[in-house]
Structure 1
Amino acid sequence: MIRPPYDAGVGAVLAAAGLDRDVPAPAAEDLIAGLRAGNSEDLSGYDVVRRDITADGFRGAALTASVYSRPDHSGTGPGLFVLHGGGMVGGTRFTGLSMLLPLLAAHDVSLVTVDYRLAPEHPDPYPVEDAYAALVWTARNAGDLGIDPGRLIVAGVSSGGGLAAGTALLARDRGGPALLGQLLICPMLDDRGRTVSARQFDRSGTWTGGHNRAGWSALLGTRAGTSDVSAYAAPARAADLSGLPPAFLDVGSAEVFRDESVTYASRIWADGGDCELHVWPGGTHAWDALVPDAPMARQAAAARSGWLGRLIATPAAVASAVPA
């Protein structure tokens, strides 16, 4: 099937790994094993302070979480509540942090990242309910975490982006924490896989249609692709996207999630909401982790940082930061 070309730098990395051509759909157990092989990111070069904590999860579970802040952080300030990627079946609270830790230095935000429970051992609704319970816990304990509860932003990469969107929907519908924004990086939003981009990249790239079906099947079982799926699990299914906090959404033009991301942004606008959308030409899934020093990767990082800076400088956010 005809499809958009990969960016030259991205394509070179994919070609070296044999991922620029047809990739067989993985068996579920192989996908899970690969995504649970550990966190390969080296986070030692970031000038941050980390402390490990325990947060509340769904039905009274205790979840391991970490708080990152700048060494000079004092008092309370903006907070990022982060949900990691891993296709709903893998990853840890450290996965993907290289995309987000630079925001701490730029904006003096504190970052809370949590190990929610994973499918298939803990299928839907465990991951998103864990995420929501931990968000509520974070808001209640914000002062102890160095966070102003009025400036709390939910964030995630890949499946974590989908969970972040689902968590924002739960917060809206349950009258939960009043989120300042949602930062959704190449989010996993739709279990149905019916878009043009899903067909174009069914067997090519870092995350293929085959990978996607395996991840959603692990989360949803036989309900995947049917009408019996909650919008909190698959936010693209939400009938109403009004009343949500401002969103930042970015995605590659050469990946499975392109069209569902563009549609999600368009529906936020149609329902009267605020969304900044970037489609990076030639990017595969999580492409900037492959070529972090490329000019386009620096532009993507700058776009996220710019959005966050504008968000925390809005009058409502500034008012929240001023003691009564």
Structure 2
Amino acid sequence: MLETSARLLQLLSLLQVHREWTGSALAERMDVTERTVRRDIGKLRSLGYPISASPGVAGGYQLGAGAQLPPLLLDDGEAIAVALGLATIASGPIAGIGEASVRALAKLEQVLPPRLRPRFSALKGSVSTLAAPTSLVDPDCLTAISSAVSQRRAIGFTYGNSDGVTSRRVVEPYRLVDTGRRWYLVAWDTMREDWRTFRVDRISSAPTERHKYLPRPLPTENLVDYVQQSITRSPYRYDVVVRFHAPLARIAEHIGPSLAQLQPDGPEQTILRAGWDSLDYSLMHLSMLNVDFDVLEPVELRERARQMAARLERSGREPSAHHHDR
């Protein structure tokens, strides 16, 4: 049985690196008969590998693309390259693929042969990335959280809030969300008995696994929107809503998803929702886009805009003679 399994892996490896093999070429390479090759091809097909066969003297076997991805066979060099690439992506998030890279890295590290782990650790430690202005996260922390999410297992860690105060948290993790600049964890905080959003770069200790937990009803169906709202609106004094007289694409060039929620209001207008603690600060940022906008909420912001407009109008007048003399 062991010999047959090893032979199937060898056959699969050959099919992955060569576009098409004849039965005789495979038999010669594997030192078996063509009948054995045909039998092994049938076994691989029964396992879900889409192997096509073309008839005739010039025909052969080819591994095709299937609807589902079968187990991937990597040699030592390929495994190291994939793991290192995934670790680099995880530590410097790339919007849209960062979360998938963390899940893949968690799976790959579980099956990485012991002989390759020192080599992978050495390579990972010797590579540095000139990162964009992002909050860098240890990929080991991300993979630990990702594993806990998939296993439905609570984790404990030390967390620092925005004021730098640290506390010990025990949470039931549900989702990692990559905003392109930061990683966030959506979890049920067992000590506060409520849903919380945690910035992963503020986790200062390695997450430790705790008990298994039963899934709870989520606070919302879309946890990505939940994170965006929690980081752009919930923590702030004022919930600001404005309508820009410009298409969504133009506004999105200047305002990222970690700063505000944007949605189109027809082809030529955009609704912005964001949180601010200062009305003056919000008006300053909104005005810097050099785009006309209407203040929809709150009423206090409209009044503050009128006061600021009056002050700016007075500032634009010609200085009086009295001021010239001084």
TM bin, normalised by shorter chain, reads under 0.3
Task: Name which structure has the greater RCO, CA cutoff 8 Å, separation 6+.
Answer: 1
Q: TM-score, normalised by structure 1?
A: 0.24
